[in-house]
A and B are shown apart, each in its own frame.
Chain A
Amino acid sequence: MDFDGFYRDTSRRLLRYAYGLTGDPGEAQDLVQEAYARAWQRWRRVSGYDDPEAWLRVVVNRLSTDRWRRIGVRRARAAAEPPLPTVAPPSEDLVLLVRAMRELPDKLRRALALHYLLDRSIAEIAAETGASQNTVKSWLFRGRTLLAAALEDPTVMAPEGARRAR
């Protein structure tokens, strides 16, 4: 398996996944680029894995939870590179969905992104995350319930404490 072919065949899927986790096109582009750069750096080993795409998703998971990255350090880093083309803004419904996804616990968000954006089965998500199939079902159920509630009432996921503290 050559790197260019692997990138061509899989990068669109990883971008879907990163976009589902972050809800930010620029952030997703940067995460995907960084993950593939790391894969390219150690391609001999990564290409030997049973599922190199799962390895890339592990990298994206880790990078997406870095708190300094979250507040915008990425943008300064990316400023040194040529900008990628922008994308049309999402609809209002998608903005609400993305906002609700961001509020979910990481593992729920990850499970939803794998299931709905990458069409992974419950068994496949269980294998990738190391959780039981029942746990994955519970994550998906909880995630869907929380999203449905948030989409009905966009204020439903705003944290109580935050409102109090303001």
Chain B
Amino acid sequence: MPADLDELFTALGRQADAVPLAEVEQVRRRGRQRRARSRAGMAAAAVLVLLAGTGVLLDRRHSDAEPILPATTPARIRGLAPVGEPLRTGEGRMWNGARISGDRVIGWIRAGDGSQETVAVDARTGRTLWRTTGRESFHLGVATTSKAVILLREIKPQSESLDEPADRLLLFHDPATGAKRWELRHTDRDQLVLHEDVLVRMVHETRAIEAYDLAGGRRLWTEPADGDPTKLISGMRVGPDDSEEHSGTTSALFRPDAAKAFPFTDDRVVDLSESGRITVRDIRTGKIRSVARGRAGAEELFAYEGKIYATLRIDGVWSITTPDHVLYQPDDSAEFGYPFPCGQTRVCVLERREANGAKQEARLIMIDPNTGDVIRTTGAVPRYGDNSTRLGHILTSGTGEKGTTLYDENGRARYSDDGIGGFADNGNALTLTRDAGDGRFTVRGVSNIDYQAAKLGVIPEISGRCDWNEDLLTCPAGRELWVWRLTR
């Protein structure tokens, strides 16, 4: 242990001690804003206003587009064209998030005075379609699918993991009109799987499984707990599905301000019991399709293309398993990484370890899910975050010096930058980097075919999570809600 490292930490402590702290009143004010929102009660009715907006479609091509790269299939994204004028909110208010729901953009505001607002904008014209406002319990954010706009509210303050479950409410709205269709009270300990037509809930308290029609809220089926209670549930991902989830549940229904919902499309749902019994059911009827025996003690569960994967400790070692195999166990020097499907017949793990006792390195390990054989191991960019896969290529995005990396089907890193990113379609990814000191972000399109990056434009400083798909990018930017069409 070098003495100068001790001294450096002492100096770091002194430097930290010189950082000014907020006055306690400033902290209380921030806390009061949160409390006001969570205690305002459920009495105040949300106001639904249908607006015939007057936005005008603008087709201002961004001057920074770089239309010189060769054509690809799917077509390369070459620029950003603003859709209408940005939707502006009032003084002292700020857009907290934006999500895409079909051909609409949903923006939401959680204001300091306890009020909240959710607005739908026509992504073709920029017109405001509808608006809900209210002053109900704390607004945690909005998740969307093409068929539902889902608002999450906190009835009782969040538990932060150390005490009892927090009561919450999901409100399901019609994307076309904004009308509330149904609501579901639950807790933050429940597990939720969002399918394009069905919502499945595993009730933590009773371990029963319930399924609801997403459009209208009708209870489709219930599986009561038995002597071997359910521990984990998972939707079934299939080839074309996009996802950034670590497990088979939908984190966007718990943290909609930070995560995006990727609804499942396959009609199977999986549950794993405490003893390791694995049951695959029809998600619409609850009828059992198959039963298998896995291991007890699973901590994570996910399913892909009919195969079931669980992570658990075996003899104290974190392991990735299927019902038939122990697929992978890292050695002692590796930090366990979450497995994720990375192709039709592959499961990948991104793990970090030391090399030569000093250097930090990461490895991408590709595994055959049928045999457990390691197909390939390649060097990777160290980071923590989300993984997604298109055409067998892997995009990782998260914390670390290099935020976003695109790997080819052989696991070679082909593009990396320090921004945040994700796939837009099979042929393209987007990344957002904060390049200059003025707070604005550079948007780049990165081809998933030839890995060439093109600067699409510079956008204002964002104030919450953006969202994008193959046609659109939308971002909350302080008092403005922006929508851009991706040009090809």
Which residues of A are in contact with B by a Cβ distance under 8 Å? 3-4, 7-8, 11-12, 15-16, 19-20, 25, 28-29, 32-34, 36-42, 45, 49, 55, 58-59, 62, 65-68, 70-73, 75-77, 79-82, 84-88, 90-91, 93-94, 97-98, 102-107, 112, 116-117, 142, 144-149, 151, 156-162, 164-166
Contacts and interface: CB of A to CB of B under 8 A. Distances in A.
Contact of B362 (A70, A81, A106, A159): A159
Given A33-B26, A159-B361, A67 B1 contact: no
Interface of B: 1-2, 4-6, 8-9, 11-13, 15-22, 24, 26-28, 30-35, 38, 92, 94, 112, 157-158, 160-163, 258, 335, 352, 354, 357-362, 379-382, 384-386, 397-403, 405, 412-416, 419-420, 432-434, 439, 441, 461-465, 477-478
Given A37-B34, A58-B160, 4 more contacts: A33-B26, A86-B20, A116-B12, A157-B359
Contacts, number: 229
A70 B335 CA distance: 22
Given A45-B163, A97-B12, A117-B12, A159 B402 contact: yes
B5 A29 contact: no
Given A11-B21, A33-B22, A117 B384 contact: no
B37 to A, nearest CB: 10
* Interface of B, helix, strand, loop or mixed by DSSP: mixed
B461 A36 contact: no
B162 A55 contact: yes
Contacts of B420: 67-68, 70-71
A32 B21 contact: yes
30 contacts: A15-B16, A25-B19, A37-B28, A40-B27, A40-B31, A40-B32, A41-B157, A42-B157, A59-B160, A67-B386, A71-B432, A71-B441, A76-B463, A80-B94, A81-B30, A84-B21, A84-B22, A90-B15, A93-B11, A94-B11, A97-B8, A105-B335, A144-B5, A145-B354, A157-B359, A161-B362, A161-B405, A161-B416, A165-B414, A166-B416
A128 to B, nearest CB: 12
Nearest to B166: A42
List the 7 shortest-distance A-B pairs measured between CB atoms, nearest first.
Answer: A40-B31, A149-B358, A37-B30, A165-B416, A19-B16, A116-B9, A161-B413
* Interface of A, helix, strand, loop or mixed by DSSP: helix
A67 to B, nearest CB: 5
Nearest to A148: B2
Contacts of A11: 21
A4 B358 contact: no
B414 A87 contact: no
Contacts of A49: 162
A77 B94 contact: yes
Contact of B31 (A25, A38, A75, A147): A38
A107 B384 CA distance: 12
A142 B359 CA distance: 10
Nearest to A8: B24
Contacts of B358: 145-146, 148-149, 156
Contacts of A105: 335, 352, 360, 384
A71 B383 CA distance: 14
A55 B160 contact: yes
Contacts of A7: 24, 27
Given A36-B27, A40-B31, A80-B92, A19 B19 contact: yes
Given A37-B31, A117-B9, A165 B405 contact: yes
A29 B22 CA distance: 7
Contact of B12 (A19, A32, A39, A165): A19
A103 B360 contact: yes
A79 B22 CA distance: 14
Nearest to A34: B30
A28 B19 contact: yes
A26 B33 CA distance: 21
Interface centre among A66, A84, A142, A160 (most CB of B within 10 A): A160
B16 A145 contact: no
Contacts of A75: 439, 461
B397 A67 contact: yes
A36 B17 contact: no
Nearest to A62: B160
Contact of B419 (A71, A84, A156): A71
Contacts of B412: 164
B463 A73 contact: yes
